[in-house]
Amino acid sequence: MSDDGRPLALVVGASRGIGRATAIEMAAHGYAVAGWYRSDDAADAETRGLIEDGGGWYRGRRTDIADQTQVRDGFRDLRTLDATLATVIVCAGITRDGLAGTMSLEAFTGVLDTNLTGSFLVARGGLRAMRKRGGSIVLMSSTSGIRGQAGQANYSASKGGIIAMAQALAKEGAPLGVRVNCVAPGFVDTDMFRAMNPATRSSVVERIPLGRVGRAEEVARAARFLAGPESSYITGQTLVVDGGMTS
C-alpha cells in the first residue's frame, strides 16, 4: 500500500466471528488492517471484500500463531507495508471442551498452545515492533477466564492466563509507551455459540440480565476503544462485555 497516513492495525483471527467484526470496525475508523488467519482462505477473502467495499484497506496472511516461526515471519511481512503499526488485536482462539477426567493431554495443551502461547507470541512481537513509537495491544480473554466453567478446564485456564499475562505485559510495556489490555466477552452470536444445542442456548440466555447474547460488533467496538487513543490512560485492564452475566 502507499503511505496515505493511515495507522496500521494487526487483527489476528480476522477471517471470522469477533476477529472479522474487529477488522471491519478498525477499517471503518481509519486504520489499514493486516489480518492473520489460520487456514480458511475463502473466509479471509470475504473479510477483505467487506472491508474494501466500505472503502478500507486490508491484506490477509495465513499465520498459525502457535508457531513462533510463522509469527516472526508475519511481523517481518508487516515491515514491508508503508504504514506504522499502531495496534495489535488478538482475537484468535479455539475450544476443545470436555470434562477434565476424560480430557486428553493433547486437548488440554492444544487449547493452551493456540489461545495462551499464541497470544504471548503475538504480544511479544507487538512489543518489539512498537517499542520505539508506542502503541497498544488488545488480547481476547473470556468470561470463562474470570469464572472457570465445567467442561472447559483447558479453555478457562487459557483465558484466565491471558488476563494475568496482560497485566504483566502492561507493566513491561508502559515504559515503552505500549498499553496492553483485554476484552472478556460472554456469550456472543458466533459460529461457536450457534454450534450449541438449542436447549443449551436457551439456558444461556436465561442467565444474561440483558436477555440476549452479544453481537460480534459489540465486542469489536470494545476492542477498538482499548486499541485507540480514547483509552490512552488505560492499561493492564480487562473490559467485560457480557450483558451483565458476571455482575
How confident is the chain (247 residues) per 10-residue block, as mean pLDDT?
Answer: 78 96 98 96 97 97 97 97 95 91 94 96 98 97 91 94 98 98 94 78 89 96 98 98 94
Tell me the whole-structure pTM to 2 decimals: 0.94
* Catalytic site positions: 155
**Domains of the chain and any CATH numbers:** 7-240 (3.40.50.720)
Nearest to 88 by CA among 180, 222, 220: 180
Handedness of CA 149, 151, 155, 161 (dihedral sign): positive
Q: pLDDT at position 2, please? A: 45
Indicate the length of the chain as a whole number. Answer: 247
Order across the sheet with 178-185: list the strands. 58-62, 32-37, 8-12, 85-90, 135-140, 178-185, 238-241
Spatial distance between the Cα atoms of 9 and 19, rounded to a whole number of angstroms: 12
Q: pLDDT at position 226, please? A: 98
User: Is residue 167 a contact partner of residue 181, using CB atoms and an 8 Å limit?
Assistant: no
Q: pLDDT at position 204, please? A: 84
Q: pLDDT at position 1, please? A: 55
Q: pLDDT at position 95, please? A: 87
Helix (H) or strand (E) holding 68: helix 68-78
CA angle 130, 124, 164 (to 5 degrees): 115
